[in-house]
Amino acid sequence: MLHIKSFPNNPYYENTYLLFDDTLECVLIDPGMYSAEEQNKVVAFIQKNQLKPVLLLNTHCHIDHVLGNKFIFEQYGLKPQFHEGELPLLAAVPGYAPQMGIRYDVSPLPDTFLPESGTIKFGDTELELIFAPGHSPAHLCFYSANDHILIGGDVLFRESIGRTDLPGGNTGQLIQNIREKLFTLPDLVIVYPGHGPETTIGYEKEYNPFLT
């Protein structure tokens, strides 16, 4: 059984996710921890539940989703994994972070890049990669078919969609990917977004004003 823990982090209220199953292996997705308090909460949860971090994943590489990459690398020796098309976004962060008043510890680069499709395995869990650019150039979502869970990053929100006015954004592409790749998943799938509360595929198909 897959368990999921959410940590709202940093000035952007970004959701950092920790996934683990009964083997106690765990995956950190979009570590946005910024303050020492935020960092300590994640570490304390891992220690309390005797978890073993084995993977660090980024759905995409906007600043709010990578602020904790360096911390997780120093704490657990894990380098991030994301699609290579996100590298320009990551490379841009040190340039604009100071202008936004954000302290940024530079993320390590991946040893392994994620493809557009395929699976990631940890413990007894398999996550399917879903390539859904539009909010960013090479955005990935992570889907557990067995547990009906989608880690959606900034693609789909409760009654909203990801913004497309940042470099690499494309509204038409984003909406097309939601319709063709996310809305074809079962209605009961729970979507855990990069910001805000979780939702379901079925709810968004019926009530999302950007897609109805």
From first to last of the 212 residues of the chain, give the pLDDT tens digit. Answer: 999 999 999 999 999 999 999 999 999 999 999 999 999 999 999 999 999 999 999 999 999 999 999 999 999 999 999 999 999 999 999 999 999 999 999 999 999 999 999 999 999 999 999 999 999 999 999 999 999 999 999 999 999 999 999 989 999 999 999 999 999 999 999 999 999 999 999 999 999 999 98
**Looking at 10-89, which runs of residues are DSSP E strands?**
14-20, 25-29, 52-57, 80-81
Looking at residue 14, its pLDDT comes to: 98
> How far is Cα 122 from Cα 24, in angstroms, rounded to an integer?
10
Distances (CA, A) of 22 to 2, 49, 50, 74, 169: 7, 11, 11, 25, 38
The CATH architecture annotation of domain 3-207 reads 4-Layer Sandwich (3.60)
Contacting residues for 194 by C-beta, under 8 A, at least 6 apart: 14, 15, 30, 59, 64, 65, 152, 153, 154, 157, 162
- Alpha-carbon span 88 to 44, nearest angstrom: 33
- Distance, C-alpha 123 to centroid of its chain: 19
Query: How many CA atoms lie less than 13 Å away from 156 in the CB half-sphere?
Result: 33
Q: What angle do CA 46, 52, 54 make, to 5 degrees?
A: 120
Please give the angle made by the CA atoms of 146, 151 and 154, to the nearest 5 degrees. Answer: 155
At 212 the pLDDT is 87
Torsions phi, psi of 18, nearest 5? -120, 120
Domain residue spans in the chain?
3-207
Amino acid at 1: M
Question: What's the pLDDT score for residue 123?
Answer: 98
The continuous run of DSSP H or E covering 11 comes out as: none
CA gap 188, 42 in Å, rounded: 28
Contact (Cβ atoms closer than 8 angstroms) between residue 135 and residue 172? no
